[in-house]
Homo-oligomer: A and B are copies of this chain.
Amino acid sequence: MKNALNRRNFIKAAALTGASLGINPISKASPTILPQAPKSKIRLGFIGVGLRGQSHISLSLNRNDCEVAAICDIDQGMLDRTLQLIAKKGGRKPTIYGLEERAYLQMLEDKNIDAVIISTPWRWHSEMAIKAMEARKYVGLEVSGGFSLDECWQLVNTHEATGTHLFFLENVCYRRDIMAVLNMVRENLFGEIVHTECGYQHDLRHVKFNDGKQPYGGGVEFGQKGYSESRWRTQHSIHRDGDIYPTHGAGPISQMLNINRGNRMLYLTSMSSNARGLHDYIVHHEKGGPNHPNAKIKFKLGDVVTTTIKTANGEKIIVSHDTNLPRPYSLGFRVQGTKGLWMAVNKSIYIEGKSPSHRWEDAKPYLEKYDHPLWKRYEQRAVGAGHGGMDFFLLHAFIEHVKQNIAPPFDVYDAATWLSITPLSEQSIALGSQPMTFPDFTRGRWIDRKNTFASGNNF
């Protein structure tokens, strides 16, 4: 099926060769694909080589079908760490760009780079992805929440104008239990899905604050005095109230509900709680206290933000954002249909006719039975990769798609949709939980688009 799709795209793209790219994108029936023979090895450029970028580089260095050709960062320390990592793993020294905010534009001029992976602070994501598509680089874009609907449209329009793909790097789609549950959904174990829950429930206080030397904890500093993510991520909690990081929940659930592929997100409402957690953390930290200058900051981000999304096909998605309070990590998944449901937090499942009446069953045997073929095949290669192995699958899929220059499973339309949850959530909260409607970023093509994610056992 993949080959068939690929051939069809190739023919369509070939027919369009020479068509004026960049003009009247709205009239196109589907994005153009530049014809290109599959490559056996690709050259990668990394824009942003903080800890997340380094993780991608480390996994790339394990492979013989890609080369870490170029790296870019504004932070000399992170460039140095990355060069050490590459040297340690026996990689060739890459071309280095950086120290200026738009040094990445020079990297994009290098015709020998096939694809870029963008792992920068959120505010740079769209600009960089747009410039990279314009430079005809296959784009891997790290996840975040968006800022405006306009920015989401720009991503879509640039893709349609250039024919260049954007792979939105949502790793949780590849989590082992999530892929098993996706398998169960596709096998109709839950019947028709009616209700889902998900979210990002992760105590990030030690990420948002540190001592300026280590990435996690040890102090209550951030911004110029912080290190790693605290240098930029914490600012969003000061200025914004909304679900500012929705994709780890919305991405996986979108695969199960075929969002943008026979279904779409119609509207949402969002509600926020008081913002107490970050102030409390500063005040009670041994290096903070009520007299620490940061104790004066008024944080806007509600400690728990709840967003309810309605789909065109009538399902609900409840998305939680909960990063300021002490709590165990949980993405809070719940997938519920006419025959039963799975919940992550109690690791349990209930399937009518299979489970003992009215009683939860341990989900484990089900997760093993429906383990996805990809996990069975690549389990050993995934050992040691970030976030329980799922980062291996993510990078693997990205590189395989780049080699063939084919449309990714989470593309620019998905990126636009998932990113848009954030500005819509902010708007809803600002207006007392008014419902906000999603643009149809596919311009009606969601009706015919097919879900191709993890449909085989290659990637």
Per-position binary interface string of chain A over residues 306-324, scored 1 when its CB falls under 8 Å from any chain B CB and 0 otherwise: 1010100111101000100
Q: Is the CB of B269 within 8 A of A435?
A: yes
Q: Which residues of B contact A325 (CB under 8 A)?
A: 194, 336-338, 340-341
What separation, in Å, do the CA atoms of A346 and B318 have in the docked complex?
19
Please tell me if A409 contacts chain B, counting CB pairs below 8 Å. no
Residue of B nearest to A266 (CB): B432
Please tell me if A273 contacts chain B, counting CB pairs below 8 Å. yes
Within 8 Å by CB of A315, from B274, B329, B338, lies: B274
Per-position binary interface string of chain A over residues 190-203, scored 1 when its CB falls under 8 Å from any chain B CB and 0 otherwise: 01101100000001
What separation, in Å, do the CA atoms of A346 and B303 have in the docked complex?
22
Within 8 Å by CB of A327, from B203, B271, B310, B336, lies: B336
Please tell me if A134 contacts chain B, counting CB pairs below 8 Å. no
Please tell me if A326 contacts chain B, counting CB pairs below 8 Å. yes
Please tell me if A446 contacts chain B, counting CB pairs below 8 Å. no
> For this complex, into which size category does the number of interface residues on chain A fall?
35 or more
Q: Is the CB of A306 within 8 A of B303?
A: no
A186 nearest CB across to chain B (Å): 18
Please tell me if A339 contacts chain B, counting CB pairs below 8 Å. yes
A198 nearest CB across to chain B (Å): 13
Please tell me if A345 contacts chain B, counting CB pairs below 8 Å. yes
Q: Which residues of B contact A358 (CB under 8 A)?
A: 203, 328-329
For window 317-369 of A, CB contacts with B under 8 Å fall at 318, 322, 325-329, 336-341, 343, 345-347, 350-352, 358-360
Q: Which residues of B contact A304 (CB under 8 A)?
A: 194-195, 316, 336
A302 nearest CB across to chain B (Å): 8
What separation, in Å, do the CA atoms of A435 and B306 have in the docked complex?
14
Q: Is the CB of B350 within 8 A of A327?
A: yes
Contacts A326-B340, A345-B346, A358-B203; is A269 near B271 (CB within 8 Å)?
yes
Q: Is the CB of A280 within 8 A of B338?
A: yes
Please tell me if A434 contacts chain B, counting CB pairs below 8 Å. yes
Contacts A191-B280, A274-B314; is A328 near B360 (CB within 8 Å)?
yes
Q: Is the CB of A308 within 8 A of B433?
A: yes
Q: Which residues of B contact A302 (CB under 8 A)?
A: 194
Q: Is the CB of A326 within 8 A of B352?
A: yes
Please tell me if A276 contacts chain B, counting CB pairs below 8 Å. yes
Q: Is the CB of A328 within 8 A of B350?
A: yes
Q: Which residues of B contact A272 (CB under 8 A)?
A: 316
What separation, in Å, do the CA atoms of A358 and B217 have in the docked complex?
14
Q: Is the CB of A338 within 8 A of B435?
A: no
Per-position binary interface string of chain A over residues 269-287, scored 1 when its CB falls under 8 Å from any chain B CB and 0 otherwise: 1011110110010000000
Q: Is the CB of A316 within 8 A of B271?
A: yes
Q: Is the CB of A273 within 8 A of B326?
A: no
Give the residue among A339, A352, A359 with the most B Cβ atoms within 10 A: A352
Known: A194-B325, A325-B340. 13 other contacts (CB 8 A): A192-B274, A192-B276, A194-B276, A195-B273, A195-B303, A269-B433, A273-B314, A303-B338, A304-B316, A327-B341, A329-B358, A346-B347, A432-B435
Listed from nearest, the 8 A-B pairs whose CB atoms lie closest are: A326-B352, A195-B304, A274-B314, A346-B346, A194-B273, A269-B269, A433-B435, A271-B308
CB<8 Å pairs between A and B, sample of 26: A192-B274, A194-B273, A194-B274, A194-B302, A194-B304, A269-B433, A272-B316, A273-B315, A274-B314, A274-B315, A304-B336, A306-B318, A310-B433, A318-B318, A322-B336, A325-B336, A325-B338, A325-B341, A326-B339, A326-B350, A327-B340, A327-B341, A343-B345, A345-B345, A345-B346, A346-B347
